[in-house]
Structure 1
Amino acid sequence: MPKFRQLPPYVSVTKTGIYRYRRTVPEPLRKHVGKREIKESLGKDYTTMLKKAAELEGLVTTLFSQKPNEGGNHQAIILNKMKEYGLRAQTVAAVAMGVDVKNKEEMGATNALGALIDDLANEPAEPLVPEELIRGLSEGQIPVTLESALDDYQARRIKANPRREKVTVTTIERHKTVLREALGKAMVNDKMLTRLRRIDARAVRDHMFNAGLAPSSVRRRLNDISAAVNEAIREYDLEMINPFHKLEVPNSQHRRDQRLPLDNDDMKLLAPIMDTDDDLGLIWQTMRDTGARLGEIVGLRCRDLDVANNFIAIRSYGDRGLKTSGSERDVPIPEDLTVGLQKLKGNHPDEPLFPRYDRVRGEDSCSQTLMKRLRKVIKDDKKAVDSLRHRFKDLLRDTDCPETLAREIMGHSDQSSAANYGRGSALKRKRKAMEKTWVRQEI
């Protein structure tokens, strides 16, 4: 196997070239999972392996997120028990989608479901699954709770970006803690999601404010929770309105003075320590000349640098996504920057252009190192690495670049629907607009 092909977590390769997933089941969960470890062959094809490993890791992470001492992940427990009772995959899927299996002409499946419900109802003094969820199951409804909605959301985020698994799990667990503190454990773990009301959402918001969180942090966390609830409503066809949708958070609106752009004097001070020939300097110069996000630059592969035509292709990869659908784009760069980046190109197109930061939390490490350099000369707290992107947007405005073209260049998510049709603006048109900013950068 080529050295540059990094393996996802818990994946190894045998001597015969077969990829294998292997992960130990935590001790408290072995009783419910029914095994000590989860093993799965992923075949020999690298691309297929990446897809299968991401899907499997998402499912396993969701399963491992249950906590038996807190009542457990009821959705995972019920689905596992359904499989134990020999219910056919179609029946499990039907229940998961909220279909009333009693109307199906599958008496064996229906009888097995009845036996399963009796089993769950006759658990010990403290059953693993609350009575309300068992009643829902008898009506053909998968027990969707606020907790399980967050678990599903977590699994999808990890599948989309496996590199940030640890950060994602920590973030979702923090959301659960806040929700339990604000609404009570039963409302989060045991009650059907459809029980949630607007008053509950306001209680969560007020709890965050009382805990001393800044308005922007409250808004960010509520957006996460709202997204999880939205996905659950969509995936399980729930008849409810998302109580977190457009919940007002006072003083959370973005203000222009929250982050200031770097000015010409700042750039002159930074030039001696930032315009260097090392990885960090070239990352800074690429951000400076393109307005691209740090993560987009750090994630570049060798194939993304077009030396002949002087541009970079910003693309998502299996384990590294982009912020928005509009972020995927081709961006011109100056010829001297192409020369500098070309020195970093490896022998294979799939190799990372900046291998030092091609790892878990690599983007964070790069950002911190850049900030250390920047703070040597820039002391204003409102100016940071991201101020370079703000500066570039201002330069485009100052050179009368059309707003639609500026959005395409910078990969903004708020591009008009019309801009998403066709091939977008030609590189020549983008270059003509960007060359004006490159001249102004030298003033």
Structure 2
Amino acid sequence: MSEPQYLTIRHGVWHFLRRVPVEYEHLDTRGNVKLSTKIKVAADRKGIKAGQVAARMNGTLEAYWRGLADQKTAEAKQTYLDAVKLARSLGLDYQTPSVGASAPIDEVLRRIETLILGGMLDNPALSRAAMGALEKPPIMLSQLYDEYEITQKLAISKMSPDQLRKWKTAKKRAVEILIEQRGDKALHELTRSDALAFADWWEERVISEGIGAGTANKNISHIGGMIRAVNKRLKLGLDDVFAGTRIEGGRDGQRAPFSTEFIRDTILAPGKLDDLNDEARDVVYVVMETGARPSEIVNLTEARIVLDAEVPYIRIQAEGRVLKTSHSERDIPLVGHALEAMKRHRQGFPRYFDKGSSLSATLMKHFDKHMLLPTDKHKIYSFRHSFKDRLKAVEAPEELIDEMMGHRIDKPQYGDGYGLKLKLKYLNAIALKTPIDPTVAAAAA
């Protein structure tokens, strides 16, 4: 009979037994933790009830260990900060022992003289502060996100609340997973073996669980990026142990474009989008005719929806949020379904403003239910791929396509790029419904 995790039998009773993990041995010297579940084996032959009790005991024990580590870390950090403040109060810059060991003798004597003249030589706290007796406490993985956030103050100040929520969640979860796999180590204790083991664990999940390689690589990149940023800011001198650990040879499936025929004959068929609420339905119309990202559409403000112009258009621009890239700022003319949709929403889409995830969930649920996704590689984003293919089909210039998609243009840029009328010419050519005023289209030609 195999015993449940952390359970052993002693005198006919189930007992919880777990060895103190290596990373907590200096805080908990018991070696092994033994606790009785008070459940007799005769009454619980398979240890099912005892296993439940043991799981609760284990959760409590792990919380206790984390608390000890947090307390130790907090105490060390506060002691160090106190020493820094005391040194400054003496008119000295604090220096760690490793720095002090290589300091010129004149500097050492100056610090001793400061203590003697102030009658502070016998004061242990002041002596430690002046002479630098404390090394800076190590940064643990559990502190990585907080330290990283400090390096990103400017970047996150430009994010919308929903963008910031998603950004924080992704970074924090990446750290949590690394700690689950390798323990809460100090950054300087992370080794190449830790990094490779973490990458190998992700690769195994890609193979055995069908996790996307892109998801795994994004997680690995989060960790590497955070450590590099903290290392640079605090000058920790760490090796980049996560360099080159991204998973090779495992690309996620590309999103497939909708064919023009499928959009016209199936998605735009009478009744297919009727079950969607007005805002979600009109966002679909705008996306399919402009190629804009759904998140760009739902975050349009009234000032960036220009309908009373010779060429009606929307302006994709950073305003209270961060765009995906600096090249994403652009003006896109409105034709066909998109023009009609924006006339119904002159002030934007309040229901989904800064709630792109909510829109995505709503649309995917509807498209799946009504069989509007031909394959599992088709997503709402497939409208963007379709838009690009349709522009290519009417031989639109490559640079114009990139500009309308918000992609980077590698060739040198002269002037302000392609104007609204020239863009309109090609959008009219691929419009899924009657384009705008033909006289404007003729002028554009």
TM bucket, shorter chain = 0.5 to 0.7
Q: Deviations over 1:63-121 (max 9, x none)?
A: xxxx9616239888766666666829999xx889xx9699799969x99xx839969xx
**1:331 match: secondary structure:** strand
Partner of 2:284: 284
The within-5 A match list for 1:135-174 is: 138=134, 143-154=138-149, 156=152, 159=157, 160-174=159-173
1-structure distance, mates of 2:418, 2:86: 51
Change in CA separation of 1:345 and 1:439 when aligned onto 2, cut-off 3 Å: closer
Partner of 2:229: 231
Change in CA separation of 1:284 and 1:214 when aligned onto 2, cut-off 3 Å: closer
Q: Are the equivalent residues in 2 in contact too, given 1:194–1:240 (CA < 8 A)?
A: yes
Change in CA separation of 1:169 and 1:340 when aligned onto 2, cut-off 3 Å: closer
Q: Deviations over 1:343-402 (max 9, x none)?
A: 3234xxxxxx1111125xx21111122223322032522212111111112112222233
**1:71 match: secondary structure:** helix
TM-score (norm 1): 0.62
Give the gaps of 5 or more residues in structure 2: 1-64, 436-445
**1:239 match: secondary structure:** coil
Identity of aligned residues (%): 26
Is 1:298 aligned with 2:280?
A: no
Is 1:344 aligned with 2:354?
A: no
2-structure distance, mates of 1:310, 1:89: 64
Change in CA separation of 1:286 and 1:181 when aligned onto 2, cut-off 3 Å: same
Partner of 1:365: 358
Q: Deviations over 1:302-326 (max 9, x none)?
A: 11111214111112233x3221222
Could you tell me how far 1:158 is from its partner in structure 2? 5.4
Partner of 1:36: none
Which residue of 63, 68, 71 maps to 2:69?
Answer: 71
The total of aligned residue pairs comes to 337
Q: 2:287 is matched by which residue type in structure 1?
A: M
Which residue of 388, 391, 396 maps to 1:396?
Answer: 391
The within-5 A match list for 1:196-215 is: 196-211=190-205, 212=209, 213-215=211-213
2-structure distance, mates of 1:408, 1:239: 41
Partner of 1:115: 125
1-structure distance, mates of 2:147, 2:294: 28
2-structure distance, mates of 1:427, 1:77: 62
Q: Are the equivalent residues in 1 in contact too, given 2:144–2:227 (CA < 8 A)?
A: yes
Could you tell me how far 1:164 is from its partner in structure 2? 4.5
Could you tell me how far 1:410 is from its partner in structure 2? 1.0
**2:331 match: secondary structure:** strand
Partner of 2:51: none
Give the gaps of 5 or more residues in structure 1: 1-66, 120-134, 347-352
1-structure distance, mates of 2:334, 2:87: 52
- What is the CA RMSD across the aligned residues, in angstroms? 4.3
Could you tell me how far 1:441 is from its partner in structure 2? 10
2-structure distance, mates of 1:338, 1:89: 66
Change in CA separation of 1:355 and 1:81 when aligned onto 2, cut-off 3 Å: farther
Is 1:175 aligned with 2:162?
A: no
1-structure distance, mates of 2:409, 2:244: 21
**1:430 match: secondary structure:** helix
Q: 1:162 is matched by which residue type in structure 2?
A: P
Q: Are the equivalent residues in 2 in contact too, given 1:75–1:148 (CA < 8 A)?
A: no
Q: Are the equivalent residues in 1 in contact too, given 2:84–2:94 (CA < 8 A)?
A: no
Could you tell me how far 1:416 is from its partner in structure 2? 2.2
1-structure distance, mates of 2:415, 2:137: 42
Partner of 1:384: 379
2-structure distance, mates of 1:232, 1:194: 12
Q: Are the equivalent residues in 2 in contact too, given 1:178–1:208 (CA < 8 A)?
A: no
TM-score (norm 2): 0.62
Q: Are the equivalent residues in 2 in contact too, given 1:280–1:366 (CA < 8 A)?
A: yes
1-structure distance, mates of 2:246, 2:391: 33
Partner of 1:247: 245
Q: Are the equivalent residues in 1 in contact too, given 2:287–2:293 (CA < 8 A)?
A: yes
Which residue of 414, 421, 424 maps to 1:428?
Answer: 421
Could you tell me how far 1:440 is from its partner in structure 2? 9.4
Could you tell me how far 1:238 is from its partner in structure 2? 4.2
Partner of 1:55: none
Change in CA separation of 1:147 and 1:241 when aligned onto 2, cut-off 3 Å: same
Q: 1:179 is matched by which residue type in structure 2?
A: L
Q: Are the equivalent residues in 1 in contact too, given 2:315–2:330 (CA < 8 A)?
A: yes
Could you tell me how far 1:264 is from its partner in structure 2? 2.6
Q: 1:281 is matched by which residue type in structure 2?
A: R
Change in CA separation of 1:288 and 1:247 when aligned onto 2, cut-off 3 Å: same
Which residue of 297, 300, 316 maps to 1:314?
Answer: 316
**Over alpha carbons, which structure has the higher Rg?**
2
